Structure 1
Amino acid sequence: MASIQARKNRGKKYWYIVESKRINGKPRPIVIESLGSTEKLLNRLRNGDLKNKKKSFSHGSVAALLSLAKKLDIVSIINNHTKSKRDYWSKKPLRNNLTSGITMLLAAIGRICNPTSKRDWHNWATKTTCDYLLRISSSNLDSQHFWDLMDCIPEEEIENIELEILQNVSKFYPLNEEILSYDTSNFFTFIDSDNNRCNIARRGKNKQKRNDLRQVGLALTVTQENYIPIIHHTYQGNISDCKVFAGIIFAIKNRMQKLNMDISKHTIVFDRGCNSKINLKKVERLKLYYVGALTPTHHKDLLKSAKRNFVTIKIDDTELEVYREMRMIWSCKRTVLVFVSKNLKEGQLKGVYQSLEKKKKHLRVIQKALLNPRSKKRTREQLEKLINKILCGQFMEGLIDYKLIEEKKDRWSLSYSTNNKNLILLESRLGFRIIMTNRHDWSSDKIIAAFHGQAAVEQAFKDIKNPYHLAITPEFHWTDQKIKVHYFCCVLGYLLATLIGFDARKNGFKGALDTLFDHLNNIRLSREIKLANKQGKPKVSYQLEEMSNE
């Protein structure tokens, strides 16, 4: 039963509709609605504003995620690994009567439903049924609340927390898929260049082209079919993929063993950025099975053999020309497959023709400038340097021929043309894929299908860069520990989202995660507050709004 209660805020009295709920066995007053000051309350009573008041909240996503988190016991697992760094706090600290476990879960749910800053989190939460389902007042959960409780999660415990959660996941969901996909990506930050307290954010080659900003790297391994993340690693943004793989491959095997995965039945798929003689020796020494890629330009003799000996096979009703052989790669015998990817070739050709047009456009500008009698005088060497700089680029070598003719002293004319012979030769070299594996007993179509499974982890990164659901950014943290905890919350959110997606697909849903959470967010719970008379207690009732068939 709800009641109207007065509370003082900064010396002034305000009125609230409050319900008493039991939390951890103890009755707690939960604010349902603020009614304002005494004057406003009297005015609303006289005008009958409180006779029938309705409001609806986004309910579907929050309810599904909280139910799943309860099933997996996520809050207790996180709480078991928290430790206060402050002498004046208890060992298992509370803030606003909330533990670190529930706070990190709420942060993860926020990333799924509406990625926002910790400061703005409560603005999103008050529009959902978080308060109703958890019996909390989310308006008290400011950025300081999150920072204080994030501070209680030691960096070294993140791996153990993730493992225990996944062990619970394995009781309800399939983690024993044959193919595991591994990849890395990076995320730019706005951390100041002079900030010396942050070592993890470094400048590097950013995949979103923000090379002017410091970035943080994330390595991720997911199951091929359901995209469930089984391990993540946050690392310095200037470390190459090859070095990251060398460090994490032991952790991947360790995680597989602790999740009771049969090493002999699982295969790790990774791209050519992970390749090195040392890395492949480590993989072989760990007795892991893998499918990886090789760079075609590094194996020209293999391409020549392939062109003469292609065999046509069928993969999902599609014919594909494939060449297969056993070959020594970095002192170890591996099964190697060569094939032409139609999609890759089309994409490469499109890029080549676009680049050609851009080069010609720049050359036309130079050509026009040289015809101007007032243009700056240049030597042949200066012009050749300028033109060669324009013509450089991937696949561009030898595709455009040009000629400089000196009309008079330091006055030149420029002519150019496309070298069709070299262009045709280039087209015959594009689209090649070379993959290698130590699964010597697998058929060619199974190896290629496993390699295509790399799309699973690429889709995972695409999802966690989606600004509307699951995004890692915005990221307003600037210490290593906070950044690592933030990334853990984001990956936890992605884990929960993939499990919700798995359940939805079992029930006939066929869309993407983004679409799924759009639908779930649109499931709303309506609250109605009724006041029988001026002296009666308000009655609060809840009802789901009508939903579409989707």
Structure 2
Amino acid sequence: MSGLIKQMVNGKPYYYVIETKRVNGQPRVVSKKYLGKLDDIVRKVTEPPQPSSVKSREFGLTAALLTIADKLGFVRLVDDVVVKRNQGATVGQYMLIAACNRCSAPTSKSKIGEWYQWTILPRILMIDCKYLTSQRFWDNMDLITPGEVMELQVALAKKVVELYQVDLRVLLYDATNFFTYIDTNNTCTLPQRGHNKQKRNDLRQIGLALMVSREGGIPLFFDAYQGNESDPVEFDRFIRELIKRFNDIFATCDDLTIVCDKGNNSKKNLAMVDKSPFHFVASLAPSHLKKVLDVPMEQYQDCQNDRLRGEKYYITKDIVFGTERTVVSVYNPSLLEGQLQGIYSNLAKTQKVLSLLQEKLIVWKTTNRKGKRPTADSVDKQIKRILIRQHMKTLIRYTVQDVDNKWVDLQYSVDEQAFDELKNTYLGKTILFTDRHDWQAEEIILTYRDQYKIEQSFRQMKDPSWVSWDPLLHWTDQKIRVHAFYCFTALLMSALLRKELQNRKISMPLSRAFEKLSKIQEVTIEYPTPKRTQEPVRVVMLTEMDREQKELFEALGLEQYCV
């Protein structure tokens, strides 16, 4: 039986809740809890309790990534390959933390501990953030050899293909590069100067080759290579390594096609692919088959597929790099329109520069200027530099001549006949070729057009917000390869997360899904207790979710990571 009693202490009333029971037939107090003074009791009843602290941690995106990592068994997969004595966090846990960080808030290793403590990872992994220092990360990265990076790729690819039933019949290949701030005097070999796709030719860069599935754009294989290596050389090594390492994965599929762009073409590479289990679909530089471009539009056929509405094609067979291939020339009005916009813009810029040069030359005719007089040869060299933009050498005709050894006369004009010929033959057309002689033209075109999926992956890795390659703050080849591995893992987890959402009929851009998930926070509210010896009362709850967040939360089963 419970009751409320008043007890006087030094003439002041204090209240207690007691519970009585009969012990040996006599009533006895078996429990007594202090409530405080009357004013305290009234305040507790009538006023909401005041928390002593409120902590918010990122829940949604981290939990979503953990669902993918747990499904793959990522931590154990890494720990089975990389040997480490039983001390502290495992290498697999460090790689998981690095991959999650790349997905949600890419940062340096010196700041990753700070990011980590504001997520639910400490509660899930039970690793104190004080152990996530730069040195600890470097020590664990040092344990992964280049051979083990390849072994991890194989194990991860097998797991992904098995769990998600990835269709391997068509694989998309491409390569990109990432500039770095690694010093020129640094002895590592991967960063080299070369043609940088982000226009930073002044910096050392690292190449990254990637292969993804056509279905779902799921990354399966990667290779980090020297920044000054040509595309055909890397393609040759990549395919040879693919056959050597992943042959048992491909054994289940007897119809494999690799899609690549024209930058990887060479006679040697195509001969190697012909001897491999792969077929190929690739684009071709127009200079290789100019006669196909000369085919009149009357011989082109209309595309019937909705994705190719308004386009035309011409299909034939011809000798490419010494072997007969199926060749498809595709005419795309949208491509023509874009190319013409670029040409008109370049023409305007080029004519403006030529006009300024012409005015400077006329000054030598009308005034007695001091200094070295321009010559026809020097002006001709200037003009060649001005006409460096695409098609300008074809479209602009010019004459340069010395007049009485006093001044140089420059005359230029747009060659309208050459412009018409360019529009009728070259512009708006793409040439594709393949050894899939059994495929229809539109199937070849659609397969090649799916290259956009791998281009999306590269754009994603260059986005500083989500799934980013940068920042790269490592200075040795071994650590750069490990960095490439957990960046690849981050890209893979994001692609599998997108696939999970598609399987549940949720159509949402990945960036929006990431943004929505990252705003689902786990809040811990802590209330004080009357006695210091008692544990504070904690209430853990999630922030209020909108319709899209609830849909994502339920579809991905994130309740399993709630307290």
TM-score range, shorter chain: 0.7 to 0.9
In structure 2, give the amino acid aligned to 1:277.
K
Deviation per CA, 1:453-478, whole angstroms, max 9, x where unpaired?
Answer: 11111111111111111111110011
CA distance in 1, matches of 2:415, 2:408: 22
Distance in 2, matches of 1:201 and 1:525, equals 41
Note the 1:267-286 alignment, pairs <5 A.
Answer: 267-286=257-276
Which residue number in structure 2 is paired with residue 468 of structure 1? 465
Match of residue 185, structure 2, among 186, 194, 200: 194
Q: CA deviation at 1:491?
A: 0.2
Report SS of the residue matched to 2:254.
helix
Aligned counterpart in structure 1 of residue 530 of structure 2, from 518, 526, 533: 533
Whole-Å separation in 1 of the counterparts to 2:193 and 2:209: 17
Is the CA contact 2:311–2:333 (under 8 Å) kept in the aligned structure 1?
no
Which residue in 2 is equivalent to 1:73? 73
Is contact 2:317-2:327 (8 Å) kept? yes
Aligned pairs (5 A) from 1:256-271: 257-260=247-250, 262-271=252-261
The one-letter amino acid paired with 2:170 is I
The answer as to whether partners of 1:51 and 1:532 remain within 8 angstroms in 2 is: no
Alpha-carbon distance in structure 2 between the residues aligned to 1:412 and 1:159 = 63
Q: Does 1:501 align with 2:501?
A: no
Q: Which of 85, 92, 102 is matched with 2:85 structurally? A: 92
Deviation at 1:254, TM superposition (A): 4.5
**Gap change, CA 1:55 and 1:304, over 3 Å in 2:** same
Q: 1:547 to 1:470 in 2, by over 3 A?
A: same
> Which one of 370, 377, 385 corresponds to residue 389 of structure 1?
385
User: What is the CA-CA distance between 1:479 and the residue it aligns to?
Assistant: 0.5
Question: 1:122-177: per-residue Cα shift (whole Å, max 9, x none)?
Answer: 22222222222222222431211111100011110111112212222233213124
Bigger Rg over Cα:
2
Counterpart of 2:357 in 1: which secondary structure?
A: helix
8 A Cα contact 1:335 1:438, kept in partner:
yes
- Whichever residue aligns with residue 85 of structure 2, its letter is K
State the 1:78 CA deviation: 0.9
> What amino acid is the match of 1:540?
R
Is residue 2:253 matched to residue 1:235? no
Give the Å deviation of 1:379: 2.4
Alpha-carbon shift at residue 413 of structure 1 (Å): 5.3
Contact 1:180 / 1:222 at 8 angstroms: preserved in 2?
yes
TM-score normalised according to structure 1 size: 0.85
Say if 1:292 and 1:529 are closer, same or farther in 2 by CA, change over 3 A: same
Secondary structure in 1 matching 2:540: strand
Change (3 A) 1:404 1:272: closer
Which residue of the partner structure matches residue 451 of structure 1?
448
CA distance in 1, matches of 2:544, 2:296: 60
TM score, norm. by length of structure 2? 0.83
- Structure 2: how far apart are the matches of 1:495 and 1:406? 64
Match of 2:329 in 1: 338
Distance 1:136 1:375, change over 3 A: farther
AA partner of residue 208 (structure 1)? Q
User: Which whole-Å CA distance do the structure 1 matches of 2:159 and 2:383 have between them?
Assistant: 62
CA distance in 2, matches of 1:287, 1:545: 52
For residues 298-353 of structure 1, what are the alpha-carbon distances to aligned partners after superposition, in whole Å with 9 as ceiling and x for unaligned? Answer: 21122224645212231226142211112222332221111113343233222222
1:162-177 residue pairs with structure 2 within 5 A? 162-177=153-168
**Equivalent residue number for residue 292 of structure 2:** 302
Match of 1:32 in 2: none
Cα gap change, 1:518 to 1:139, in 2 (>3 Å): farther
Letter matched to residue 215 of structure 1: Q
1: CA distance, partners of 2:196 / 2:51: 57
Cα offset, 1:208, TM superposition = 0.9
SS in 2 for 1:259: helix
State the partner residue of 2:545: 547
Query: How far did residue 509 of structure 1 move?
Result: 2.8
1:495, CA displacement in angstroms? 0.6
Find the counterpart in structure 2 of residue 12 from structure 1: none
Shift of 1:493: 0.8
CA distance in 2, matches of 1:232, 1:150: 18
The alpha-carbon distance between structure 1 residues 256 and 442, as it changes in their structure 2 partners (threshold 3 A), is: farther
Is the 1:182–1:268 contact (alpha carbons within 8 Å) kept by the matching residues of 2? yes
Q: 2:253 and 2:68 mapped to 1: Cα distance?
A: 29
Q: What letter is aligned with 1:63?
A: A
3-state SS in 1 of match to 2:166: coil
Preserved contact between residue 405 and residue 414 of structure 1 (Cα < 8 Å): yes
SS in structure 2 at match of 1:417: strand
Change (3 A) 1:50 1:534: farther
Counterparts in 2 of 1:56 and 1:250: CA distance versus 1, 3 Å: same
Identify unmatched segments of 5+ residues in structure 2: 1-48, 549-563
Are 1:433 and 2:424 counterparts? no
Q: Which moved more, 1:539-548 or 1:302-311?
A: 302-311
CA contact (8 A) 2:310 2:333 kept: no
Q: SS state of the match for residue 294, structure 2? A: helix
Alignment of 1:267-416 (within 5 A): 267-305=257-295, 307=297, 309-316=299-306, 318-372=309-363, 373=367, 374=369, 377-403=373-399, 410-412=406-408, 414-416=410-412
Structure 1 CA distance for aligned equivalents of residues 210 and 394 of structure 2: 40
Matched residue SS, 2:222: strand
Which of 195, 198, 208 aligns to 1:208? It is 198
Please state whether the residue corresponding to 1:109 is helix, strand or coil.
Answer: helix
Please report how far the alpha carbon of residue 263 of structure 1 lies from its aligned counterpart in structure 2 after TM superposition.
4.0
Aligned equivalents of 2:415, 2:203: Cα separation in 1:
40
Would the aligned equivalents of 1:180 and 1:224 in 2 still touch at CA under 8 Å?
yes
1:158 lines up with 2:149 in the alignment: yes
CA contact (8 A) 2:262 2:285 kept: yes
The equivalent residue for 1:424 is: 420
Counterpart in the other structure of 1:181: 172
CA contact (8 A) 1:313 1:319 kept: yes
Equivalent residue, structure 2, for 1:225: 215
For residues 10-159 of structure 1, the aligned pairs below 5 Å read 51-83=51-83, 91-92=84-85, 94=87, 97-159=88-150
Distance 1:244 1:396 in 2: 32
Q: Is the 8 A contact 1:226 1:502 kept in 2?
A: yes
Q: SS of the residue aligned with 2:164?
A: coil
Letter in 2 for 1:176: D
Task: Specify the alignment match of 1:38 in structure 2.
Answer: none
- Measure the CA separation in 2 of the matches of 1:262 and 1:293: 28
Aligned pair count reads: 493
Find the aligned partners of 1:538 and 1:513 in 2 and give their Cα distance. Answer: 40
CA distance, structure 1, for counterparts of residue 492 and residue 352 of structure 2: 48
Q: Is the 8 A contact 2:527 2:537 kept in 1?
A: yes
Per-residue CA distance 1:386-424 (angstroms, 9 max, x = gap): 223212332111322345576775234544332222222
> Residues 198-253 of structure 1, C-alpha deviation per residue, up to 9 Å, x if partnerless?
01111111111111111111111001131111111111111111011111112333
- Tell whether the 8 Å contact from 1:264 to 1:289 is kept in structure 2 after alignment: no
**Closer, same or farther in 2 for the Cα pair 1:375/1:130, shift >3 Å?**
farther
1:261 deviates by 5.2
Cα 1:531–1:434 shift into 2, 3 Å? same
Q: 2: CA distance between counterparts of 1:455 and 1:375?
A: 57
Q: In structure 2, what is the Cα distance between the partners aligned to 1:117 and 1:150?
A: 14
Residue pair 2:169, 2:253 contacting (<8 A) in 1 also: no
Cα displacement string for residues 2-31 of structure 1 (whole angstroms, at most 9, x for unaligned residues): xxxxxxxxxxxxxxxxxxxxxxxxxxxxxx
Q: Distance in 1 between matches of 2:519 and 2:485?
A: 27
Residue equivalent to 1:482: 479
**What's the counterpart of residue 21 of structure 1?**
none
